[in-house]
Amino acid sequence: MPEFVLTNDILEQLVDTNDEWIVKRTGIRERRIAKGMHTWELGLRAAERALEDAGLTADALDMIIVTTCSPDFFSPIEASVIQDKLGAKCAAMDMNTCCSGFVYASDVADSFIKCGKAKTVMVISAETLSRVTDYTDRGTCVLLGDGAGAAIYTATEETDKGILSSFLSSDGSGAEYLYMEALPVEQEPLSAERFCDPKARFLKMAGAPVVRFTAWAVPKAIDEALHRAGLTAAEIDWVVPHQANLRILDVIAKKYNLPKEKIYVNLDRFGNTSSASIPLALAEMRQNGLLHEGQTLVCTGFGGGLTYGAFVIRL
């Protein structure tokens, strides 16, 4: 996580909002901002810590996948920059499925490993959403933060370990509710004004339809992933959802009759960090001794696209 803490008090000075409203509607108290840092720098930090934690060196990696919807460049890709800085000699690719990025990329990593094309794949999810946030729009700026997390998947002979099932899907009919333009389409391609307008590329969101989408998409993704793994919600030790809004976490608890303690929450401290939120949560859980061998987790992501998905993993 970057060091700078953007509190609700600071936001009160930027837009017409207040701590009480933000906490009640979102559960968020503060977020981190990567001042003066590139997305790849955050991603590199996460990658180095993941390698250290796994007791591996970069030469063990067969592939690096970076998920981000807030990249530094169109070219080079983030994954190649990080591959070079790590000193890895392997395939590298970026993926963007917005806030479901970690779920999608984990499935890709798992597929490469299961079909024998790779033994060790690192997924890095890195986001600097502050660079695409409109700090005059109170409906979005209170939600978003920066951060990065990384996970390393390796081949194993043990069939009851690792990713047991996954489900990925998309409902592009809701694209307009959550979008960021990369390059504007212009009637007059030579007009420079639009390219100079930073607001043109800010993230725009219609909050209420996104809430309605998550209310059906998240349970559907969890249901499908559980069904494919042949498990019930009662057999799950942890649900690790994308940290978008406390209210959606409440929906999950109610629908699956799960105690709230089984749903990991850190959005109060980090806000919505898009694809980085699940690996950040996993890293924090690991650091705090909450993850143990043999536990079964459901990770679920949802966001721009509108994409959604989930996977079941046994540690």
Binding site for ligand COA (CB under 6 A): 17, 21-22, 25-26, 99, 138-139, 142-143, 205, 207-208, 210-211, 214, 244-245, 272, 303
Residue placing its CB nearer to ligand COA in the complex, 194 or 204: 204
Among this protein's residues, is 8 annotated catalytic? no
User: Least separation, in Å, of the C-beta of 87 and ligand COA?
Assistant: 34
Among this protein's residues, is 99 annotated catalytic? yes
Phi, psi of 259 (to 5 degrees): -65, 145
Of these residues, 90, 141, 242, 299, which one is catalytic?
A: 242
Residue placing its CB nearer to ligand COA in the complex, 58 or 105: 105
Of these residues, 69, 98, 99, 299, which one is catalytic?
A: 99
Single-letter amino acid, residue 170: S
Q: How far apart are CA 260 and CA 250, in angstroms?
A: 8
Residue placing its CB nearer to ligand COA in the complex, 135 or 231: 135
- Give the DSSP H or E segment for 31: strand 30-33
User: Least separation, in Å, of the C-beta of 250 and ligand COA?
Assistant: 12
* Number of C-beta neighbours around residue 291 at 10 A: 18
CB 82 within 8 A of CB 287: no
Residue placing its CB nearer to ligand COA in the complex, 83 or 97: 97
User: Least separation, in Å, of the C-beta of 270 and ligand COA?
Assistant: 14
User: Least separation, in Å, of the C-beta of 132 and ligand COA?
Assistant: 13
- What angle do helix axes 39-54 and 78-86 make, rounded to 10 degrees? 50
- What would the 3-class secondary structure string for 40-107 be? HHHHHHHHHHHHHHHCCCHHHCCEEEEECCCCCCCCCCHHHHHHHHHCCCCEEEEECCHHHHHHHHHH
User: Which residues are known to be catalytic?
Assistant: 99, 242, 272
